[in-house]
A and B are shown apart, each in its own frame.
Chain A
Amino acid sequence: AQSVTQPDIHITVSEGASLELRCNYSYGATPYLFWYVQSPGQGLQLLLKYFSGDTLVQGIKGFEAEFKRSQSSFNLRKPSVHWSDAAEYFCAVGTGFQKLVFGTGTRLLVSP
């Protein structure tokens, strides 16, 4: 069965420091992969997605993610974190019939 693992429940990063959020997936075929962000009290907003082609994908708000098939990973990165990036981040894999399977999320805290 398809699954997504986000091993970090919480991460705290200093403002201006770099960020990497981990995501590992389990899926039999070539996956569609997504990162969504949820600000407090809000719905989910798509940050970026990978379907095929270049394994380094760029998203909104300065985020990027790299697909590594050999490691079944799709880690999210940002070179310099801003206080407004504090939110919960969800990795997801697309399955058949346009469904998504989500990870349990990583809550990012940004310290001054």
Chain B
Amino acid sequence: DVKVTQSSRYLVKRTGEKVFLECVQDMDHENMFWYRQDPGLGLRLIYFSYDVKMKEKGDIPEGYSVSREKKERFSLILESASTNQTSMYLCASIPKLSSGNEQFFGPGTRLTVL
């Protein structure tokens, strides 16, 4: 079974702090994604990565950056956290040669910024 893990289930940070959210997958997937989930808005794509050291902006990249130094790890960085970044963050992965778009999701990190 594919396993996607996220470093924290719950996180509380203060405005202005630098925040790191970590995601690790154990199935050698090339492609990884970061979403945020908000009530009434569904999941929105923040950033994605097709390979090590490669990254692409999604639909809402403002205020975020990412890092992919190793194939299995994809980090989401909030350079200076703000209260409007309070949300559920979900990581997902998929193999490059997948015949479709089925993504495998981690359990999510609920971030609260005070």
For A, the interface residue count at a CB cutoff of 8 angstroms equals: 24
How many B residues touch A, CB cutoff 8 Å? Answer: 27
Contacts of A105 in B (CB 8 A): 42
- B-contacting residues, A71-107, CB 8 Å: 90, 94-95, 97-100, 102-105
Is there an interface contact between A99 and B45, defined as CB atoms closer than 8 Å? yes
Q: Which of A11-19, A40-48, A61-69 contacts B (4 or more CB under 8 A)?
A: A40-48
A8 to B9, CA, bound (A): 28
Binding site of B, secondary structure by majority: helix, strand, loop or mixed? loop
**Is the CB of B34 closer than 8 A to any CB of chain A?**
no
Q: Interface readout for B55-86 with A: 1 if CB under 8 Å, 0 if not?
A: 00010000000000000000000000000000
Q: Sample 6 A-B pairs with CB under 8 A, ordered by A number.
A: A9-B40, A34-B102, A41-B9, A41-B108, A43-B105, A49-B102
Report A's interface with B, CB cutoff 8 A: 6, 9, 32, 34, 36, 41-46, 49, 51, 90, 94-95, 97-100, 102-105
User: Closest 7 CB pairs between A and B?
Assistant: A94-B101, A43-B105, A104-B42, A44-B105, A102-B43, A102-B42, A43-B107
